[in-house]
Structure 1
Amino acid sequence: MITKKSYRSHETVRPEAAEEGGTADSPANSFGFFPATGLPQVHAITEYAVDTWQRSVLYADVMRQRGNQYQAHLTEEVPNVLDFPSEVILSGQDLPRPVNYWLVRIVPPKDKPTDNMKRPFVVIDPRAGHGPGIGGFKVDSEIGVVIDAGHPCYFIGFLPDPVPEQTIEDVMHAQAAFMEKVLALHPCREGKPAVIGNCQAGWQILMTAAMRPELFGPIIVAGAPLSYWAGWRGRDPMRYTAGLLGGSWLTALTSDIGGGRFDGAWLVQNFENLNPANTLWNKQYHLYSNIDTEAQRYLGFEKYWGGYVFLNDVEMQYIVDNLFIGNRLATAELITSDGERIDLRNIRSPIVVFCSYGDNITPPPQALGWITDLYGDDEDVLTHDQTIVYATHDSVGHLGIFVSGAVSRKEHHKFTTNIDLIDVLPAGTYRATIAGDAPKNSGPSIGNYELSIEPTRMVDLRDIVQPDPESDRRFAAVAQLSKTNLALYRQFVQPWVRQAVTPQTAHWVQTMHPLRLSYEWWSDHNPLAPLVADTAKKIREQRAPISEDNPFLQFQGIWSDAIVKTLNLWRDARDDACEKAFEWTYSSPWVQALAGQSGDDEPMRQRPSVTPEHRAFVAQEIEELRDAVTEGGAIEAGIRAVFYIHRFCSSIDERRANLTLELHQPNCDRGFDMDSFRAIVRRQANIMRLDTDAAITALPQLLAHEEPGRIREVARTLERLRSIGPLSTAEETSLTQMLDVFEVAATAQDTVLS
């Protein structure tokens, strides 16, 4: 993004020149478009010419450093961009099904030691074209936030080259092994490890959690696509790519030309094509126009952006066929080679979905559509005992969701510091909002903002996702025709391609990729590089940036804005044409008939069924809840009281939730049994949801065997709700009612004991 300069309004206009649009000695007199500055015209031109030359040399030198950095990154044994020291805990290459992944422990700085009594976090970066480390490539990052909060932190990364024949299932088994290792290293009761999965790592960790739900605590997926057909008309053109290219046969061809490996640079190329203004102009112009301050930030990001990795052909084909085109994850259609169905409804941990309206790679419909795909209504979510929290950002782009320092200091900070609150939320869907602004100082420090979690409904999610059965019909036709085209390619073309490609030609094709060439051509290997480096050094020693009042500099900004607007207009026209071509092609009755679709209105995506065993389980659970209405003690009574007091409240804020933790264990600084507390809260929530009147009527029975001191201690904790914030009239009345119940129970116990 370009940081626009602030164009100042100049008021040094002589009265006699005001009507002419400028001063007599201003360039505006000659050209009519420069504001009056008071600078002599010759001086302005000279100053701008010198500054332009200096910026050009400094820009060329930064690009030279970028090339050197790229070359050095390629020679690293384990290329990554982590800004934190780490130590390898487990290598995926040593597993029974070897993969190119590894688990490392982040070594915290001495001034921020880890509290091993806190639950560990595991951060996983996407293998979507780039190398690992973006989740912790600076202090203001996801890993930085976790370290700042005192949690043990682990990171799952990967090498540039996959192990031959490794598959997506192998990676899932490796991630499960890594989680087992983290659990073994932290056998405390503070809760199971929390996991942050960025982009492609989000869907992959959810697939693993569906297979091994017992290994996971809360799971945060940031910018992760899960429902690939979803999107808003006129806004999300990337989802049309496969249909316009005829399906996944091109993926197979690309892998074959690469000698059995898919070059991640092609994925990055797809990302860059989405925003030509940024790719072709904005990013480089922003560096050029801010060359005195932007170089280090630019080089830090480019180290990640240019660190391309590879995937095996079977991995990439699986992803494209089953996810991008087939969209089979969100409707539980994926089955492993062992015959196990990957059903996201099996996940028992809370799932936090973080997405942004400014994301053109994973827009909110693709991040949230799996919920409306899997569940028919709110009752469906409850009967599967699943907790889903979603949070949306108004404007940040795709990478900013897990890279932006402002997002880390605000959203990721609040998710991390309130992970226990998220873990104990009862089943249901919730919307998380964060009030206030993130702090502008460096470091993930606490700002003046607060997390609030509001229960929501499936209808609210559908308003965001906007499911479109007709659009699904088109994408279903793409999926079917893709299978046909892929089969034709494999039968008639693939044998010839594989016969023609040698390791040497595959290496040449990868080396000559346009994105790689952009890093390769200009570095210290170029004979002109020493001259540029020496000149840039001399310029930095005597650098004097141009005045912002210079009219030529202001015209440069206007010219840049015109380029950006032109490229954006071209992008919009291109995207609109692609969308119309896609809809025209795949709305055709002939194409849909070729894809095996009938003319009826049967939905193209059937929601996964509910088994008879599940219905029997739910019926049994309801009976057990009815029997448990009179079971429990002071803890259960206190939690029911909190639910009763806030039954009309539209949101759950972190202060009230943290107060509730004290009901379970007043001195919870050490040894807090989070799993036990979570089970109690969720069970009492279900009892209250089943029959609120019966649950409250039974409170005296729950308190009948408690010590009077313990009853009054819980009552005092409840009374502190008044000090947290103003209560509504209904909440105040309910609190008074509950305090009376507890006091009557304590008095009765005093009588019994006396």
Structure 2
Amino acid sequence: MHPMDMMKIYGRVVEIYRLRLGEAVAAYGEAMRGAASAFATAARPQEPAAAWRDAVSYWSDAAQRSLIYWDTMRQRGNNWIAHEKAGKPPLLAFDYEIIADARGFERPCNYALVRVVPPEGVTLDPARRPFLIIDPRAGHGPGIGGFKADSEVGFALKAGHAVYMVIFFPEPVPGQTLADVSLAEAEFLRTVRARHPDTDKPVVMGNCQGGWAAMLVAALDPGNVGPIVVNGAPMSYWAGNDAENPMRYAGGVLGGSWTALLASDLGGGVFDGAYLVDNFEYLNPGNTYFSKYYALYSKIDTEPPRFLEFERWWGGYFLMNRAEIRWIVENLFVGNKLAAGKAEWAPGKTFDLKAVRSPIIVFASLGDNITPPQQAINWVADLYPTTRALKDAGQVIVGLMHQSVGHLGIFVSGAVARREHAQIVDLVEYVEALPPGLYGMTIEEDRSSGELKYDVTLTERLVEDIAVLQKYDRRDEIPFEVVANISETVSGAYEVLVHPLLSAVVTPEMGRALRAVHPLRAARWGLSDLNPVLRAFAPFADFARSQRTPRDEKGPLVAAEHFAATSITAGWDLYRRLRDATVETEFFRLYGTFAMLDPDLTAPVQPALVEQPPAEVAAALAAMHSGDFTDAAVRVALLAQQRGGGQRRLSTLKQIRDLVGHEVGLIALPADVAQAVIRRQSIIADHAPQEALASLPDLLKTPQERTHLLTLLDRLMANIAFGPELTAFTAEVRQVLAGTPPAVPDGRVVPFPSYAAGQAV
């Protein structure tokens, strides 16, 4: 690279750093001014008697709050100990039974398949496909998908679906690998399908890292997978934007995968999931060290049950084998090999995501700084660089974007479950009927009847529109290739020079001792009944609960407390902003320099503008004049959709199915056959729309069939308020079937609406 170009890039990095420092200081100043203003308003001068009353009520209340607060922390510790003694079972809000235990498989691993028992009042529909939910093994235990009644599990059960979950046990089977886990999950999938032979293929839903696990299963056994739902799942690990996604730099900051190997060696060959939880807590130190505890203190009369419920899951740390965490780090976190088709599950055998033919629903959030939207969706563009490539591959991908919820809220928020997950469950019954393409899913609320109702709109998008989520045309991902190369070199040296020594010195017993004193664990067992001081205060806390004396929430001392809390939070946020800006800047300084010195890395990748049509496209076009009534009806529907502007409303799809679905014939076909019909006719409609319309009489060979199709069209037009474009298109179909050629349209496929920031992907 020319020295002047390098100086320009360095200048840009320095300018961004300067702006971020200014924004951090400005945000701190604004927060402090707001806190000072609120304090000045509340802290008015008082009469001596009023000041005395305020002081007595405040400090009496503070003493009671403190007793209850520390007693709540003691309960958290006791809950942690009890959960450890019980073997850390899944924290599901539902009963369950184990169906298959992979610890007894030919290639054993610490996974099991469970059936969720429907709660009282919930009746399952045997005709509806089952759900298989895979929770993340990212430090915590399973159960997040069914943490509450209002959850993914809850709404799938309410809709009548049988629900199964993939759970895992705290300690891995010695020697198990990620390949063993994926093969076991594929076997679980076959078990679920065998238990429901008369339904369509199971829906596979993966949360966070369970999302890429679901995709691995689908790649291994695509023939048994129905629709796939990936919630907040990282798939493109290098993706993200500067000043937004600090966790993407973790691999470079830590120097690659060798630190995970070191942690495993210090654990006696086992990797402690508490380290992964540490990474999550690192993102927001203000919340980790102050805000969540102050929220407990400030709402001490109502907050403890919610706090304790969440902490039971948050404090359950699970383990991985050294080989497992190494595969994850080297292939995913640092190597980013999954979308590139380079992640091997056996020598010479890779996970091929292009083998997945099931529809995929991707749920991400703009407020998620752990799995940002870019990491959740960019793999689509990596696999299918153009919209035509995606369509010709016969793939359906639906993107749903939340505007603000954080990472954990995607899985545990009741509001998200009632709005987003409930609609996803509703959509899976129809997503297989969509023609190939990329769709943005938006959810609309309707309160006109006095009752809140939701409807879903699916709008066709361009794969190229995904770039709107990215800055710099993804050129900022180039330094991550340097990280991967350096990681490979350093890890190789570690394996030769350090690993033999540590593996000989650190025994499994020493590893268990080190895990027991990990700060996250010590903070729990240290604040429990094992602590005699806290145990002695328990009766006083009970007395404080029974004799609560309210304080004056508008008094000056409460205002001073709020001012202090806001100041502490603002200070932590300032530290976080400065830290993240500095880490990001130094990351690009270091690894960007190496990248600029390597011409192979700095050369932009130019995707092919003209792609060779696959054999399926050629076969579909060759069979344009062949087919039956179902083929003709599907083709008409697809051509009509082109004229209608690329939008599909779920409520309208339901109406169409009710009005004509059984007569079209798709519903009676096996799911695979129905999808093949839709894919074939979609290719014909996309590549040759004029000829597709003109050749309809070849598919409808008798007058009775043509009359029947027109009758169905008339029924739809009479019951659904379609626009004028579809009215005109119906007239064209009528002319073609009557033997009168219609006016030749311009032949262009209606372009997809442009993506706008804040809309669904």
Amino acid at match of 2:424: F
Classify the secondary structure of the residue corresponding to 1:587: helix
- Select which of 98, 120, 128 maps to 2:130: 120
Deviation at 1:714, TM superposition (A): 6.8
State yes or no: 1:305 paired with 2:314: yes
Cα separation, 1, equivalents of 2:467 and 2:302: 44
Cα separation, 1, equivalents of 2:197 and 2:45: 71
The equivalent of 1:653 in structure 2 is 649
State yes or no: 1:499 paired with 2:504: yes
CA spacing shift, 1:721–1:545, aligned 2, 3 Å = farther
Amino acid at match of 2:124: T
Alignment deviations for residues 238-270 of structure 1 (CA, whole Å, 9 cap, x no partner): 121221222211111110000000000000001
The equivalent of 1:696 in structure 2 is 693
Cα separation, 1, equivalents of 2:124 and 2:44: 57
Contact 2:274–2:520 under 8 Å retained in 1 = yes
State yes or no: 1:569 paired with 2:565: no
Alignment deviations for residues 185-227 of structure 1 (CA, whole Å, 9 cap, x no partner): 1112x42111110111111221221121111111111111111
Size of the aligned set, in residue pairs, is 701
Contact 2:153–2:163 under 8 Å retained in 1 = yes
Counterpart mapping for 1:195-594 below 5 A: 195-436=204-445, 447-466=452-471, 468=473, 470-589=475-594
CA spacing shift, 1:308–1:532, aligned 2, 3 Å = same
Cα separation, 2, equivalents of 1:395 and 1:630: 49
Cα separation, 2, equivalents of 1:166 and 1:338: 16
Deviation at 1:655, TM superposition (A): 1.8
Classify the secondary structure of the residue corresponding to 2:133: strand
CA spacing shift, 1:285–1:685, aligned 2, 3 Å = same
Cα separation, 1, equivalents of 2:609 and 2:131: 34
Cα separation, 1, equivalents of 2:73 and 2:88: 24
CA spacing shift, 1:92–1:372, aligned 2, 3 Å = same
- Select which of 39, 43, 49 maps to 1:34: 43
The equivalent of 2:724 in structure 1 is 729
Contact 1:99–1:162 under 8 Å retained in 2 = yes
Cα separation, 1, equivalents of 2:361 and 2:196: 23
The equivalent of 2:159 in structure 1 is 149
CA spacing shift, 1:691–1:541, aligned 2, 3 Å = same
Contact 1:715–1:739 under 8 Å retained in 2 = no
Contact 1:121–1:154 under 8 Å retained in 2 = yes
Deviation at 1:79, TM superposition (A): 1.6
Cα separation, 2, equivalents of 1:718 and 1:130: 56
Cα separation, 1, equivalents of 2:609 and 2:103: 38
Classify the secondary structure of the residue corresponding to 2:206: strand
Deviation at 1:470, TM superposition (A): 4.0
Cα separation, 2, equivalents of 1:600 and 1:503: 42
Deviation at 1:736, TM superposition (A): 4.6
Amino acid at match of 1:654: L
The equivalent of 2:677 in structure 1 is 680
Cα separation, 1, equivalents of 2:380 and 2:70: 49
The equivalent of 1:110 in structure 2 is 120
Cα separation, 2, equivalents of 1:532 and 1:78: 28
Moved more, 351-360 or 262-271: 351-360
Classify the secondary structure of the residue corresponding to 1:630: coil
- Select which of 155, 169, 172 maps to 1:162: 172
Contact 1:262–1:316 under 8 Å retained in 2 = yes
Cα separation, 1, equivalents of 2:568 and 2:201: 51
- Select which of 622, 627, 636 maps to 2:631: 636
Cα separation, 1, equivalents of 2:312 and 2:480: 36
Cα separation, 2, equivalents of 1:262 and 1:599: 35
Larger RCO (CA under 8 A, 6+ residues apart): 2
Amino acid at match of 2:244: R
Cα separation, 2, equivalents of 1:438 and 1:515: 46
Amino acid at match of 2:689: T
Cα separation, 1, equivalents of 2:550 and 2:376: 44
Cα separation, 1, equivalents of 2:726 and 2:408: 42
Counterpart mapping for 1:18-57 below 5 A: 34-35=43-44, 40-57=50-67
Moved more, 517-526 or 334-343: 334-343
Cα separation, 1, equivalents of 2:508 and 2:431: 50
Moved more, 418-427 or 542-551: 542-551
Deviation at 1:609, TM superposition (A): 13
Alignment deviations for residues 83-113 of structure 1 (CA, whole Å, 9 cap, x no partner): 1111111111121100000001111023111
Amino acid at match of 1:408: A
Cα separation, 2, equivalents of 1:580 and 1:304: 35
State yes or no: 1:61 paired with 2:71: yes
Amino acid at match of 2:143: G
CA spacing shift, 1:94–1:660, aligned 2, 3 Å = farther
CA spacing shift, 1:607–1:155, aligned 2, 3 Å = farther
The equivalent of 2:89 in structure 1 is 79
Contact 1:642–1:718 under 8 Å retained in 2 = no
CA spacing shift, 1:537–1:476, aligned 2, 3 Å = same
Cα separation, 2, equivalents of 1:429 and 1:466: 21
The equivalent of 2:603 in structure 1 is 602
Cα separation, 1, equivalents of 2:184 and 2:714: 45
Deviation at 1:437, TM superposition (A): 8.0
Classify the secondary structure of the residue corresponding to 2:480: helix
Contact 2:385–2:464 under 8 Å retained in 1 = no
Alignment deviations for residues 37-81 of structure 1 (CA, whole Å, 9 cap, x no partner): 999222112111111111111111111111111011111245210
Deviation at 1:473, TM superposition (A): 2.6
Classify the secondary structure of the residue corresponding to 2:142: coil
Amino acid at match of 2:567: A
Deviation at 1:525, TM superposition (A): 2.2
CA spacing shift, 1:152–1:600, aligned 2, 3 Å = closer
Deviation at 1:646, TM superposition (A): 2.9
Cα RMSD (Å): 3.0
Amino acid at match of 2:650: E
Amino acid at match of 1:81: L
The equivalent of 1:7 in structure 2 is none
Cα separation, 2, equivalents of 1:718 and 1:554: 68
Cα separation, 2, equivalents of 1:706 and 1:545: 83
Provide the TM-score with structure 2 as the length reference: 0.86
Moved more, 273-282 or 429-438: 429-438
Classify the secondary structure of the residue corresponding to 1:353: strand
CA spacing shift, 1:711–1:129, aligned 2, 3 Å = farther
The equivalent of 2:756 in structure 1 is none
CA spacing shift, 1:660–1:95, aligned 2, 3 Å = farther
Moved more, 43-52 or 573-582: 43-52
Deviation at 1:623, TM superposition (A): 3.7
